[in-house]
């Protein structure tokens, strides 16, 4: 899936996930990343899964084929006991549908399904234990007035080629300029902003720090174009080597976007929040989309280089969205910290040769731990990482 898409997943939305029936099991497998990302970014959202190209399935065995593919989808989202699988949206056979755009078969049924699911969607964040239905709720007139004012501001900025985000101060000014607005205190403002986010009028991240929570994005297309500058970046030694880009080069990609020196920190945090660019040092960022799908060299030979092997195996029912990106970034940070942890034995004749040798410690960071003699130290030789893995070689073995 596109890295940019997940930036616009919001709560209280109905997601319609489309896949090609004619591609069979291969297409079902591709649904996994979409479903995991929806649940990770917008937990407990309503999801409808729609299979297209129904007309390409032979009518002689269409019923059996569709039933089989449905079973594969449910196997992703439900446990063998029928309970909802961890990390996936709550999808049952009622949320599955098939259509043909060519013959229009199933389109009327899809309309009814979307209507029914939307009518039963609830606000799980409300104080009520069961949650209130989203459709049919009363909306204060001042919220609708504010929504129109924000849309007008978006149009004005678009026509005048201005940056498509508001700061806290600018949003307050928009509210104050609305005649008859009854949005007075902080709680009223947050509720109004939540409404604007739900309706797609604003994109805002109140749960973040470093100032990102003070920006309110107006136009998803404009923001997508800013992000595409990074996503479309090709791996090259001049800009990004081994998936890592210097902060100053990443900063150059902001030129012409409208982000200023005062708001670049918020932009960098936005990139990190969605694993587009993750900091691995004070002056460099990891761009996960540039990592190769496989190791750049044959790593199986390392297993024969040492007879002693220590393994720790983790079994997960699913891989959380962004797991590998953040894991690799944090491992690179840890390896950099190891490079700074030097162990200097007492100065004597035997140790003079080893006195300046850097020994990498897996004891963790912190001045207290740096002064300790770690129980596990290695001299790192090589670090290899790819989209879903990392390998560190050292004298006498490897870590993977």
- What pLDDT, on a 0 to 100 scale, did the predictor assign at position 306? 57
Same domain, 341 and 241: no
Same domain, 25 and 100: yes
Domain boundary among 133, 167, 193: 133
Q: How many domains does the chain have?
A: 4
d(CA 400, CA 395): 14
Instruction: Please report, for residues 162, 188, 189, 236, the alpha-carbon distance to residue 183 in angstroms, rounded to integers and kept in the order given.
Output: 27, 6, 6, 51
Same domain, 26 and 128: yes
Tell me if 206 is assigned to some domain.
Answer: yes
Same domain, 90 and 177: no
Tell me if 22 is assigned to some domain.
Answer: yes
Q: What is the largest CA-CA distance in the chain?
A: 87
- What pLDDT, on a 0 to 100 scale, did the predictor assign at position 10? 87
- Is 32 within 8 Å of 76 (Cβ atoms)? yes
Of 321, 316, 322, 338, which is closest to residue 383 (Cα–Cα)?
Answer: 338
- Is 45 within 8 Å of 11 (Cβ atoms)? yes
- What pLDDT, on a 0 to 100 scale, did the predictor assign at position 370? 45
Same domain, 60 and 158: no
Q: Which SS3 state, helix, strand or coil, does residue 215 take?
A: strand
Q: Which SS3 state, helix, strand or coil, does residue 49 take?
A: strand
Indicate the Cα dihedral angle 213, 217, 221, 225, nearest 10°. Answer: -60
Q: Give the tens place of pLDDT for each residue, 295-318.
A: 877 766 665 555 566 667 778 878
d(CA 221, CA 202): 12
Tokens 């199986």 belong to residue: 300
**Structural domain span for residue 51:** 5-133
Same domain, 321 and 241: no
Domain boundary among 98, 114, 133: 133
Indicate the burial class of 3 (C-beta count within 10 angstroms; 0-12, 13-18, 19 or more): buried
Tell me if 147 is assigned to some domain.
Answer: yes
- What pLDDT, on a 0 to 100 scale, did the predictor assign at position 365? 45
Same domain, 21 and 124: yes
Same domain, 260 and 327: no
What residues contact 30, with CB distance under 8 A and at least 6 apart?
19
Same domain, 105 and 151: no
Tell me if 295 is assigned to some domain.
Answer: no
What residues contact 186, with CB distance under 8 A and at least 6 apart?
none
- What pLDDT, on a 0 to 100 scale, did the predictor assign at position 174? 93
Tokens representing 324?
């590998």
Q: What are the DSSP E strand ranges found in 148-208?
A: 165-167
- What pLDDT, on a 0 to 100 scale, did the predictor assign at position 384? 86
Per-residue pLDDT of the chain (400 residues; tens, 9 = 90+): 567 888 899 888 999 999 999 999 999 999 999 999 999 999 989 999 999 999 999 999 999 999 999 999 999 999 989 999 999 999 999 999 999 999 999 999 999 999 999 999 988 766 555 578 888 889 999 999 999 999 999 999 999 999 999 999 999 999 988 877 888 888 899 999 999 999 999 999 887 666 889 999 999 999 999 999 898 887 655 688 888 999 999 999 888 888 888 888 999 999 999 999 999 988 999 999 999 888 877 766 665 555 566 667 778 878 888 889 999 999 888 887 776 664 444 445 454 444 443 333 334 444 444 444 444 555 667 788 898 888 877 765 556 6
Same domain, 148 and 186: yes
Neighbour count for residue 51 (Cβ, 10 Å): 26
- What pLDDT, on a 0 to 100 scale, did the predictor assign at position 180? 74
What distance lies between CA 62 and its chain's CA centroid?
A: 36
Tell me if 256 is assigned to some domain.
Answer: yes
Same domain, 83 and 170: no
Tell me if 352 is assigned to some domain.
Answer: yes
Q: The domain that contains 234 carries what CATH number?
A: 1.10.10
Q: Give the tens place of pLDDT for each residue, 47-76.
A: 999 999 999 999 999 999 999 999 999 999
Tell me if 87 is assigned to some domain.
Answer: yes
Tokens representing 101?
């755009």
Q: The domain that contains 16 carries what CATH number?
A: 3.40.50.300
The dihedrals phi and psi of 380, each to the nearest 5 degrees, come to -70, 135
Domain boundary among 259, 290, 321: 290
- What pLDDT, on a 0 to 100 scale, did the predictor assign at position 342? 45
- What pLDDT, on a 0 to 100 scale, did the predictor assign at position 359? 37
Instruction: Please report, for residues 6, 169, 223, 372, the alpha-carbon distance to residue 202 in angstroms, rounded to integers and kept in the order given.
Output: 15, 15, 12, 51
Same domain, 10 and 85: yes
- Is 277 within 8 Å of 230 (Cβ atoms)? yes
């Amino acid at each position: 899936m596109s890295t940019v898409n997940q930036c616009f997943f919001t709560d209280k939305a109905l997601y319609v996930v489309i896949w090609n029936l004619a591609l069979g099991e291969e297409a079902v497998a591709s649904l996994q990343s979409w479903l995991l990302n929806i649940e990770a970014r917008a937990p407990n959202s309503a999801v409808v899964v729609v299979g297209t190209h129904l007309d390409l399935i032979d009518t002689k065995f269409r019923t059996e084929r569709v039933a089989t593919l449905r079973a594969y989808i449910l196997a992703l989202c439900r446990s063998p006991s029928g309970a909802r699988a961890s990390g996936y949206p709550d999808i049952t056979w009622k949320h599955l549908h098939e259509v043909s755009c060519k013959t229009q078969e199933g389109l009327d049924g899809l309309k009814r399904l979307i209507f029914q699911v939307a009518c039963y969607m609830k606000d799980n964040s409300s104080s009520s234990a069961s949650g209130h239905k989203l459709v049919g709720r009363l909306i204060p007139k001042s919220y609708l007035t504010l929504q129109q004012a924000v849309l007008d501001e978006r149009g004005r900025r678009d026509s005048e080629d201005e940056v498509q985000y508001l700061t806290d101060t600018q949003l307050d000014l928009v509210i104050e300029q609305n005649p008859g607005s009854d949005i007075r205190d902080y709680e009223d403002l947050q509720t109004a902003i939540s409404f604007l986010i739900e309706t797609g009028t604003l994109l805002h991240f109140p749960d973040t720090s470093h100032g990102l929570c003070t920006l309110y994005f107006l136009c998803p297309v404009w923001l997508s174009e800013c992000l595409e500058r990074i996503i479309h970046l090709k791996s090259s030694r001049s800009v990004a080597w081994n998936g890592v880009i210097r902060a100053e080069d990443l900063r150059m990609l902001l030129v012409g976007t409208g982000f200023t020196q005062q708001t670049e920190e918020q932009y960098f945090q936005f990139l990190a929040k969605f694993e587009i660019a993750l900091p691995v040092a004070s002056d460099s960022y990891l761009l996960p989309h540039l990592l190769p799908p496989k190791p750049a060299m044959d790593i199986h030979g390392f297993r024969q280089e040492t007879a002693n092997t220590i393994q720790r195996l983790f079994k997960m029912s699913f891989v959380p969205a962004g797991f590998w990106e953040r894991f690799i970034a944090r491992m690179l940070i840890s390896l950099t910290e190891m490079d700074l942890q030097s162990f200097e034995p007492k100065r004597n004749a035997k140790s003079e040769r080893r006195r300046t040798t850097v020994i990498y410690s897996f004891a963790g960071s912190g001045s207290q731990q740096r002064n300790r003699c770690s129980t596990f130290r290695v001299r790192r030789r090589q670090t290899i990482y790819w989209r879903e893995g990392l390998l560190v070689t050292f004298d006498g073995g490897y870590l993977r």
